[in-house]
Amino acid sequence: MKLNKLLFYSLISLLVISCSGGGGGGGGTTTPTVTLTSIAVTPADQRLLLETGATKQFTATGTYSDSSTQDITTSVTWSSSNTDIATISNTSGSNGLVTLQAVGATTITATSGSINGSTLLTVETNNNNNDNHLTITVNGDTLCTNAYPNKPCVSVTVCTPGSNTDCQIINDILLDTGASGLRIFSSVLTITPTQVTSGSGNLADCIQYADGSADWGPVQTVDVILGNEPAVTMPIHVIDSTFGTNAEQIQSLCGTPDVSPNTAGFNGLLGVGLFAQDCGSTCVSVTSNQMYYSCSGSVCSPTAVPLSNQVPNPVALLPLDNNGVVVELPSVALGGKTSIQGDLYLGIDTRSNNSSSGATMYPADPSSGNFITVFPVTGGNTYSSSFIDTGSNALFFDAGSQNALITCSTGIATGWYCPSSTLSFTATTKGYLGSPAANIPFSIGNADTLFSPQTNWVFSELGAPYDSSTISAFFDWGLPFFMGRSVYVGLEKTSSNLGKGPYWAY
Amino acid sequence: MKTRKLSSLLLCFSLALIVLFVGQAYATLGESTDSIATNRKALSAVRSTTITSSKYTVHVFQSETMTVREYVSPSGVVFGIAWNGLTHPDLTPLLGSYASEYQKAASHIKRQPGRKFVKVESDNVIVEKWGHMRNLQGRAYAPALMPQGVSNDEIK
């Protein structure tokens, strides 16, 4: 007992000595140094509205050991715990300036040496309205020309630049998440666009599609209104197969471009894919880009084009809802429906109607937009060039080892999968670097049976192989993928609560 | 007289330079690797590598907008071409003597809206295209020129 007590006191005194040792010893002989003891970040616990201003200045106030305080905003290191919600500048001249990115919460921290101070920043929205909404119809009333299965259409409004009266609503615009840019046939435009110039010539665009078709015509500026969004002045592609030069040169530059809405099957296309422009940085630096031409006299020559003159994804230029879109279609039971109606929301996490909560984000390759599909789940092939596309009207993939997936070689469904009964499958989709991963169940039915009554035009179980097994790296998740899902298309160089684009999320 | 001689000399010299330094142009389907396509666009190819297998040689050309792979038989004839890039290449110089039959066959193809691939088959050449904006791919091959034991699936 006694020994224990002794040991206890010895320990206590050792502790006391060691704890008071450093500070006490030198205190009497040197001038007391004033040290930073805490940092306060203001404004504290801010709730900011995303739409009332994109930036906000934060201040760091240091409190020192002598109880003095000082503004140390420019000398601390600033950080934001979630840069998808808000970023903060450490650049000289703008230290502490927060830029709001998306709805959500983040912690803003100011650090100096081992001392730091932080505060919570909540980014909110008062946009509870539906101004960012467009109705999608699949074989519905916004469709006016050639019908084909699983064709999603929207309406857009275009105006003569600067006019809010000389406007027209254009129906039968194909919604395309596999491309970027608004393209409208010249023959349906009654407004007066302004030609975009390139050097001494008029700028023209050639878009080649993988089905062998193409769109040719001038790049012209109009005011675009999507849903009830504000009008935004931007270049669009005016489809005109006779523009700029003779038929022979157009054919050599752009193949056999679409001539009319009737032959194309739409009045135009609304490309709301992963990219901010149809071409992007390549066409800024490369003259022979095979997309952009400058037409002067009756000759069109290849030309490089600054980003601002390229045909943009219209969503990228919206004031608030500019980080992507959400596409939602209802489920469609096996056997199909005559038509369905769905929703296109502009922006992701910018309003109460486009929250990404619950969705998982799959990063897409920043140059191609592709991600990965493995089919079937166990021991399957890896389809490294997979994409999700409202403009593809079925699930297109190579059957691989699935022998039951036979293809119709005659009749109305020639070239489509025609298994003897509807088959259920599961594939795994992955981000382009391999994660995250999720299993996607889907069905493939007999297209001959689906098409034969010709009463239904919307099918969740429609699929087809490529004509050649060589194209096996491609898995094209077309319109059936969107049925019964909310699909988030995250634009490059933007972010939302899901992360940084380009991405797919669902 | 003197200046004309000088300029023609200069012209010859520049032509020689072009052949020397931009000799990495594409060859044409059905022709030998020595054939250099006349299409100036093709001359923007910036570097090339060669992959040799027992059955054929692959010449890979990288331009600023696409990669083109040319499959050459042991006898030196180009029997297949595959591409992958921002756009499809101008097929006229690449297909050479096959270009007109391809164009004729392509003009008769019934458009299949909603599909992201097309196969154009004519008497002597098969052209397939697929993909989507920012990533268009395709291939062209002449079945009659394929070396024995080579499957068309190898052209990719």
**What's the pLDDT tens digit per position in B41-80?**
454 565 577 887 888 999 888 888 889 899 999 988 999 9
Given this model, what pLDDT does residue A141 score? Answer: 65
Tokens of B137: 């791919």
Q: Is the pLDDT of residue A14 over 50?
A: no
Interface test with A, best of B116, B119, B137 (most A CBs within 10 A): B116
A136-150, A340-354, B47-61: least confident range: A136-150
Q: Residue B24 — pLDDT band, cuts 50, 70, 90?
A: very low
Q: Name the average pLDDT for chain A.
A: 90
Given this model, what pLDDT does residue A145 score? Answer: 54
CA separation for the pair A15, A225 (Å, rounded): 74
- Written in H, E and C, the secondary structure of A221-256 is EEEEECCCCCCEEEEEEEECCCCCCCHHHHHHHHCC
3-class SS of residue A300: strand
Chain A interface includes B22 (CB < 8 A)? no
**Strand segments (E) across A365-406:** 371-375, 381-388, 395-396
CA separation for the pair A36, A110 (Å, rounded): 13
Measure in Å the smallest separation between the Cα of A34 and chain B Cα atoms: 60
* Chain B residues touching A386 at Cβ < 8 A: none
| Pairs of residues, one from chain A and one from chain B, whose beta carbons lie less than 8 Å apart | 140
Say how many C-beta atoms besides its own lie within 10 A of residue A406's C-beta: 14
Measure in Å the smallest separation between the Cα of A388 and chain B Cα atoms: 10
A11-15, A315-319, A406-410, B60-64: least confident range: A11-15
- Point out the residue among B114, B133, B135 whose CB comes nearest to the CB of A394: B114
Given this model, what pLDDT does residue A504 score? Answer: 98
Measure in Å the smallest separation between the Cα of A279 and chain B Cα atoms: 7
Q: Is the pLDDT of residue A399 over 90?
A: no
How much is the average pLDDT of A264-274? 95
Q: Edge-to-edge, what's the strand order for the sheet holding A69-71?
A: A36-42, A59-64, A69-71
- Point out the residue among A285, A289, A396 whose CB comes nearest to the CB of B86: A289
A109-118, A145-154, A160-169, A307-316: least confident range: A145-154
Measure in Å the smallest separation between the Cα of A425 and chain B Cα atoms: 21
Chain B interface includes A415 (CB < 8 A)? yes
CB-CB under 8 Å, B87 with A256: no
- Report whether B153 contacts A398 (CB < 8 A): no
Measure in Å the smallest separation between the Cα of B44 and chain A Cα atoms: 8
Q: Residue B109 — pLDDT band, cuts 50, 70, 90?
A: confident
A25-29, A237-241, A255-259: least confident range: A25-29
Given this model, what pLDDT does residue B2 score? Answer: 43
Nearest CA in chain B to A387: B132
Given this model, what pLDDT does residue A279 score? Answer: 97
- Written in H, E and C, the secondary structure of A188-208 is HCCCCCEECEECCEEEEEEEE
> Residues 78 to 107 of A: which have CB under 8 A from any B CB?
none
